[in-house]
């Protein structure tokens, strides 16, 4: 079977439920963000410090969850196919929160805005965090088009998951730097003062 079909050569693609839409469609934009995020997370896994190898299972679970979210996003809101698509639950959010708390317990107190650099694994985690924020913004945009019902409830859980995932990825970046003995660099103003966040 060939990898190319030519069906998208005119700027349209198919939703999971079969409808043809422009490749610039908001649902396709959100799916593209999720795909990009998944790929960057794969990059994190490839360069994890030895002391962080146990994180691989967490990242695998996250990658699988992103595919689940993508499948839900890629279905027409009026399609009966939605009933067959698995969704993200509060349990997945709690799993992220536990992982964040576990890493946080070993990290030094954050005393300002840190620059996104350091070990390659930390840099990849920061890139993933920014892509995650973009995906979240697009999913939020989709939710604003829906007033009530089961679809909106599912989207809300996915929004919460992506919000928490960006926090997780930020913490992963700090944790990888810690494991590699890399000192975090604080953003400083021209006067030399560090700037503190809330």
The full DSSP string for 28-74 is: HHHHHHHHHHHHHHHHHHHT--GGGTTHHHHHHHHHHHHHHHHHHHT
Residue 87 has a pLDDT of 82
- Domain assignment of residue 164, yes or no: yes
Q: Running DSSP on this structure, what letter comes out for residue 21?
A: E
Into how many domains does the chain fold? 1
Instruction: Answer for the pair 30, 138: CB distance below 8 angstroms, yes or no.
Output: yes
SS3 13: strand
Residue 175 has a pLDDT of 96
For residue 51, the domain's CATH number is 1.20.1200.10
SS3 186: strand
- Domain assignment of residue 148, yes or no: yes
- Domain assignment of residue 192, yes or no: no
Please give the model's pTM, rounded to 2 decimal places. Answer: 0.86
- Domain assignment of residue 193, yes or no: no
Low-confidence ranges of the chain (pLDDT < 70): 1-10, 13-21, 23-24, 78, 80, 145-152, 190-198
Q: How is the chain split among helix, strand and coil, in percent rounded to 5? A: 60, 5, 35
- Domain assignment of residue 45, yes or no: yes
- Domain assignment of residue 187, yes or no: no
SS3 14: strand
- Domain assignment of residue 84, yes or no: yes
- Domain assignment of residue 87, yes or no: yes
Residue 126 has a pLDDT of 97
Residue 196 has a pLDDT of 41
Beta bridge pairs of residue 22? 12
Range of the domain at 83: 12-103+115-179
Q: How far is CA 102 from CA 92, 95, 192, 195, in A?
A: 16, 11, 33, 26
């Amino acid at each position: 079977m060939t990898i190319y079909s030519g069906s998208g050569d005119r700027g349209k693609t198919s939703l999971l439920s079969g409808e043809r839409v422009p490749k610039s469609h908001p649902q396709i934009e959100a799916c593209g963000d999720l795909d990009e995020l998944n790929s960057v997370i794969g990059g994190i896994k490839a360069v994890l410090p030895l002391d962080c190898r146990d994180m691989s299972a967490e990242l695998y679970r996250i990658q699988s969850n992103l595919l689940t979210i993508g499948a839900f996003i890629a279905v027409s809101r009026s399609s009966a196919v939605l009933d067959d698509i698995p969704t993200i639950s509060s349990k997945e959010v709690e799993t992220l929160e536990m992982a964040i708390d576990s890493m946080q317990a070993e990290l030094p107190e954050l005393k300002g805005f840190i620059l996104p650099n350091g070990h390659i694994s930390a840099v990849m985690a920061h890139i993933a965090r920014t892509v995650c924020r973009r995906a979240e913004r697009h999913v939020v945009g989709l939710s604003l088009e829906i007033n009530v019902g089961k679809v909106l409830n599912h989207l809300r859980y996915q929004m919460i998951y992506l919000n928490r995932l960006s926090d997780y990825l930020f913490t992963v970046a700090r944790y990888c730097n810690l494991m590699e003995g890399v000192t975090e660099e604080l953003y400083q103003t021209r006067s030399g003062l560090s700037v503190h966040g809330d």
